[in-house]
Structure 1
C-alpha cells in the first residue's frame, strides 16, 4: 500500500468511527495536543484566521474539547445531541504533501449527510489535516475545517465535520 493509500484508508476509518459513534476509537485518532478549528466566514470569500482573536464556529486548542463533547453525548448532558443524528461522512480529493517537520499535510473535500427527527440535511467543505506517523498508523495533530454551507439551519457539532 502506498503512503497516499494508507492516508486515505486512515481518513475513511476516522469517518467510519464517527458514523458508527465509536467514540473511544474516534478520539484515539487525535493526538492529545491536536488543534480542532472551524473558522467563521468574514465575508463571501474570506474566513477568520486567528481563533484566539476572531470568531470561530468551533475551536478546541487540544483534544480535551472533543473529549468534553463526547462526555456530554455519553451522559445525555447535551440536548442538542439527544437523540444523536445518523451521519454519513464522504471524503474525496485527498491531496498530500510533506512538511519540513516530518508530518504530512493533507487536504480533503468532504460532505456529511445527517438525519434526525425525520429531517435530513448536509454540511460540506474542505478540511486540512496535519498527520504524524504513529506506532500503529497515522494520528491527527491538527484539523482545520472550512464549512462551505451558507446557512446553518441545524445544530453543528464535531461529528458533522
Structure 2
C-alpha cells in the first residue's frame, strides 16, 4: 500500500467530520460521488444486521447522493421539524484501516463517535464505518459509506449528520 494513503485518508475523514460539525453542507456534499451509496443497516438480532438494503430494513439508505442532497435541502428550508433547531455535533474518528481495491479505489474502515447536544440534552452515537474512496485530484471522493450504529436504541432523531 502507498504509505502516503494513510495520512491522506485520515485527513480526508477529519475534514469530512469538520464540515459536518460546522454544517458546511455544500462542501460536505462535494465529498460524495454523485452515485455514492449511503447505508445504515438495522440490526436483525443482537449480532447480525441487514446486509442488503433492498431486501431488509435500514435505518438510513440512499442509493445515491441525491438522498443526502434532499436531506440538506430539508434542513436548509426548515422542512425537517425533527432537526429544528439543528443539534451541535462533534465527530471523532479513530482506528483508520486501509485496504487497496481494484481500480485504484480504497476500502477504509474507521471507528467513530458523534457527540450531539440539543434542547439541554447531551448524548452520543457510536459505531464503525466502511468507506469506498476513489482518487479525486489530490484528495478522495466517497463512492460508498456503510455505517454500523452500535447503540441503536435511539432516544433522539437519527440523521446523516449524526454518523
TM-score (norm 2): 0.97
**1:39 to partner: Cα distance:** 0.2
Rounded to whole Å, the distance in 2 between the matches of 1:129 and 1:91 is 13
Q: Give me the whole-angstrom Cα distance separating, in 2, the residues matched to 1:23 and 1:35.
A: 17
SS of the residue aligned with 1:52?
coil
Pick aligned residue for 2:149 from 139, 147, 150: 147
Deviation at 1:105, TM superposition (A): 0.2
User: Residue 112 of structure 1 aligns with which residue?
Assistant: 114
The reply on whether 1:7 has 2:5 as its aligned counterpart is no
Please state how far the C-alpha of 1:99 moved relative to its aligned partner: 0.5
Take 1:69 and 1:22, find their aligned partners in 2: how far apart are those partners?
14
Residues in 1 aligned to 2:50 and 2:37: alpha-carbon distance in whole angstroms: 16
Matches within 5 A, 1:29-48: 29-48=31-50
The offset of 1:136, in angstroms, is: 3.9
Q: How many residues are paired up?
A: 161
Could you list the per-position Cα deviations for residues 67-106 of structure 1 after superposition, in whole angstroms to 9, with x for gaps in the alignment? 0000000000000110000000000000000002320000
Q: C-alpha separation between the residues in 2 aligned to 1:14 and 1:84? A: 18
Matched, 1:18 2:14: no
- Normalization by structure 1: what TM-score? 0.98
5+ unaligned residues in a row in structure 2: which ranges? none
Partner of 1:126: 128
The two structures, once aligned, show a CA RMSD in angstroms of: 0.9
SS at match of 2:44: strand
